[in-house]
């Protein structure tokens, strides 16, 4: 029951954020004097609507977003009545059109900031002292967490299968929290040295020196061979190496809360990290498409593949069901940051495409004026329609692919 409540709550949160995106367009357009004729939540058949002034407001049957209609967004629009020609959006100064078209993304960023501050003060944000890079991860003390089993062939599957052998460290009596001091007689100073030493050995029995509750001990661990990528390159070539079934254990909280004032600075620091992560995710999208397709045709789902709103809602539901609301918030924050940035890409039909054209027109007019040539006028949007349709087609196909993968082979929180 909690799963479905959480899923519905996350879907509603996204619907509200997208509706506020459109509200940002409408409010700024009205403030500048542009004419807005429609503002609707949802698509498809109208459930109800009412008119206030010159704008019709309403709710439609398919709750997958919303829209507002600003008259005369391009010179080619034929929806501008004679008496409204001076209010057509394309006639307004470039900076005003930029504000209107970027207001949707700004709304997403504002929602992310508010949600991040709330998380910082009341729920907690990821501990900044936790290792964030492979180098930092390697430098921590060699205190271990012990797995129950080992996947000989690495996959994104979680939990132990009947065919998975018991982890060698567990079979030897090592416990989570033990500090490894030596392997095969070689002193161990940090976790990176521990993993390097294990992988340098052949499969077979080796002595592990450890300290547990201040008491030193020795365990004979029988290392087994398993397929693993390089430690510093998770996407690198998989090779057969020796493993013990251990991971790093950090004696520090995963989440940290802050005071209301301190939380402001932390909010913007975390927000910037989300911006960088979103750009990195965008760059990886093309290389993840084959993995998405393969997950539909029978392969295991790569937890690092993109997700749709459907997948995000499922993760939100799972977060509530498992009692980890902080993950619900983190997904909501990251999704709003991603959508806000994506909408600013200089491609039609997203908002960034209209902004790019407006500034291109302005720059071109400035250059022609300096060359004492006649103003070339406005961009003909009809000439850009083939490119626009290509973007829509690719975007639609990608959306369909992610939705299908999220239905057929969804990502779980605990596969991440």
pTM to 2 decimal places? 0.81
For residue 111, CA distances in Å to 20, 135, 326, 337, 359 come to: 9, 33, 16, 9, 27
- H or E stretch at 143: none
Q: What average pLDDT does range 66-79 have in this prediction? A: 89
Beta carbons within 8 Å of 324's beta carbon, 6+ residues apart: 413
In three-state secondary structure terms, 323 is coil
> Would you say the C-alpha torsion 293, 295, 296, 298 has a positive or negative sign?
positive
- Contact between 244 and 146 (Cβ < 8 Å): no
- Cis ω before 349 (30° cut-off from 0): yes
The pLDDT value recorded for residue 416 is 39
User: In sequence order, which ranges of 32-157 are alpha helices (DSSP H)?
Assistant: 94-118, 134-139
CA neighbor of 335 nearest in space, from 317, 313, 305: 313
Beta carbons within 8 Å of 46's beta carbon, 6+ residues apart: 40, 58, 59, 60, 61
Catalytic residue among 22, 237, 300, 326: 22
The pLDDT tens digits for 96-112 are 999 999 999 999 999 99
- H or E stretch at 14: helix 2-31
Active site residue 22: yes
Between strands 204-212 and 36-52, the pairing is unpaired
CA neighbor of 252 nearest in space, from 123, 120, 129: 129
Q: What average pLDDT does range 248-276 have in this prediction? A: 90
The pLDDT value recorded for residue 156 is 61
In three-state secondary structure terms, 183 is strand
Full set of structural domains in the chain with CATH: 134-248 (2.30.42.10)
Per-residue confidence at 302, pLDDT binned at 50, 70, 90?
confident
CA neighbor of 326 nearest in space, from 273, 257, 416: 257
Q: Residue 258: left if φ>0, alpha if ψ -120 to 50, beta else—which one?
A: beta
Q: What rounded mean pLDDT belongs to the chain?
A: 90
User: In sequence order, which ranges of 70-226 are alpha helices (DSSP H)?
Assistant: 94-118, 134-139, 168-171, 191-200
Tokens at 217, concatenated: 């001990």
Q: What average pLDDT does range 343-359 have in this prediction? A: 94
**Does residue 316 surpass a pLDDT of 80?**
yes
The pLDDT tens digits for 155-208 are 766 678 888 899 999 999 999 999 999 999 999 999 999 999 999 999 999 999
Tokens at 269, concatenated: 């620091």
**Does residue 386 surpass a pLDDT of 60?**
yes
Please tell me the distance from the alpha carbon of residue 122 to that of residue 75, in angstroms, as a whole number: 49
The pLDDT value recorded for residue 158 is 66
Per-residue confidence at 134, pLDDT binned at 50, 70, 90?
low
């Amino acid at each position: 029951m909690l799963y479905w409540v959480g899923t519905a709550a996350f879907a509603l949160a996204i619907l509200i954020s997208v509706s506020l995106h459109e509200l940002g367009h409408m409010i700024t357009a009205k403030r500048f004097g542009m004419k807005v004729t429609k503002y609707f939540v949802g698509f498809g058949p109208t459930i109800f609507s009412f008119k206030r002034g010159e704008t019709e407001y309403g709710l439609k049957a398919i709750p997958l977003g919303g829209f507002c209609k600003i008259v005369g967004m391009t010179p080619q629009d034929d929806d501008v009545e004679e008496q409204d020609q001076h209010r057509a959006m394309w006639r307004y100064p470039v900076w005003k059109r930029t504000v209107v078209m970027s207001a949707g993304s700004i709304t997403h960023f504002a929602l992310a900031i508010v949600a991040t501050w709330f998380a910082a003060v009341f729920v907690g944000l990821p501990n900044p002292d936790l290792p964030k890079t492979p180098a930092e991860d390697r430098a921590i003390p060699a205190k271990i967490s012990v797995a129950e089993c080992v996947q000989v062939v690495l996959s994104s599957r979680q939990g132990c299968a009947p065919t998975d052998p018991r982890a060698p460290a567990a079979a030897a009596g090592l416990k989570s929290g033990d500090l490894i001091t030596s392997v095969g007689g070689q002193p161990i100073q940090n976790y990176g040295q521990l993993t390097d030493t294990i992988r340098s050995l052949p499969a077979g029995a080796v002595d592990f020196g450890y300290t547990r509750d201040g008491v030193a001990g020795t365990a004979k661990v029988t290392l087994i061979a398993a397929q693993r990528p390089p430690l510093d390159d998770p996407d690198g070539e998989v090779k057969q190496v020796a493993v013990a079934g251990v991971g790093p254990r950090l004696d520090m909280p995963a989440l940290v809360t802050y005071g209301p004032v301190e939380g402001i600075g932390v909010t913007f620091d975390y927000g910037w990290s989300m911006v960088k992560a979103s750009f990195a995710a965008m760059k990886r999208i093309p290389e993840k498409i084959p993995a998405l397709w393969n997950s539909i045709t029978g392969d295991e789902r790569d937890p690092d593949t993109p997700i749709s709103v459907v997948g995000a809602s499922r993760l939100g539901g799972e977060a509530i069901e498992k009692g980890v609301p902080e993950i619900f918030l983190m997904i909501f924050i990251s999704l709003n940051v991603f959508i806000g940035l994506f909408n600013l890409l200089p491609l039609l039909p997203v908002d960034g495409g209209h902004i790019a054209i407006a500034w291109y027109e302005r720059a071109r007019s400035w250059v022609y004026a300096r060359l004492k040539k006649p103003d070339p006028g406005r961009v003909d949007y009809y000439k850009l329609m083939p490119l626009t349709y290509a973007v829509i087609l690719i975007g639609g196909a990608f959306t369909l692919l992610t939705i299908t993968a999220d239905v057929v082979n969804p990502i779980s929180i605990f596969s991440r």
